[in-house]
Amino acid sequence: MKIVKKSNGRNHWYVDADSGERVPGVTTILDQGLPKKALINWSANATAEYAIDHWDELGALAPSARLTKLKGGRYAAKDAAANRGTQVHKMGERLIRGEQVVVPDLLRPYVDSYVRFMDEFQLRARYVEGLVYSEEHRYCGTFDIFGDILLPDMPEYDDLPRDDDGFVCDVLIDAKTNRSGIFGETALQQAGYRYADFLQPDPDDPGSAFPMPEVTWTGALWIRPDGYSLVPVAAGPEQHRQFLYVREVGIFDQGARDLVGDPIEPPTASRYVLATVADEPADPVGAPF
């Protein structure tokens, strides 16, 4: 199995160079197999907000055009948030690599929060945007950060191995920029990365792959305009097992319609006739037996 990462704009996918087969990514697996309850509420709220914010504009349209606008209104907010997250990730990656970046004013608060995290936890990143894949379960993914951080000297971290400088080594961190914080599915996402078979630092060079290093700690970095939060995420063997279950649900859902065949035509014409029986008259009141 030799993985090559393909990109087109904001989208990317993975291909097995040996077979030419497209290999599903971790986030795609979760999108296809895990219900997104929060997105259902968000979708309704975003549509209502769009209607309020564009009330006069919508009122001037024909009903069918108004409906079309309302249907697509929530995607404007979603695309803006996705683009912001992508840009913050790219700038964070470049900063971690030691590059200089020019930050747009709109993104400066997020990038400042990213830099504060790097400084306050003294991040020593070894791999950024690293491609991982599992030969056994045939999936791929791209994690955000793999490296070492300086966690506080507190009892809850006593079981974590530290080097001579006090750093916790071989940690896996996923960065998020959404408004709602860290969702539980991040645990499954991190487990997919953590228990992959191989790490390929160069997405264009399958020959750079080597066995996935053992991860000692998994967490998520919530980047906000007003700061950041680094939170632990449980991503152990149990979560990896559940991640594989989610993949199976997604596989079923993708092919579920193929499990139902076409209606069967009857082999003979029906001779069944529904007969209507007239109601019998009610007994007159007081009639003798």
Average pLDDT over the chain reads 86
CA atoms within 13 A on the CB side of 233: 31
pLDDT tens for each residue of 262-284 = 999 989 988 888 877 766 666 65
Which helix or strand (DSSP H or E) is residue 218 part of?
strand 217-224
pTM of this prediction exceeds 0.85: no
Count CB atoms within 10 A of the CB of residue 193.
27
Are 218 and 235 in contact by the 8 Å Cβ rule? The answer is yes
pLDDT tens for each residue of 144-179 = 999 999 999 888 888 899 999 999 999 999 999 888
**DSSP conformation class of 25:** B
Collapsing DSSP states into helix, strand and coil, what is residue 275? Answer: coil
Residue 120: its pLDDT value, please? Answer: 95
- For the chain, the structural domain boundaries read 3-255
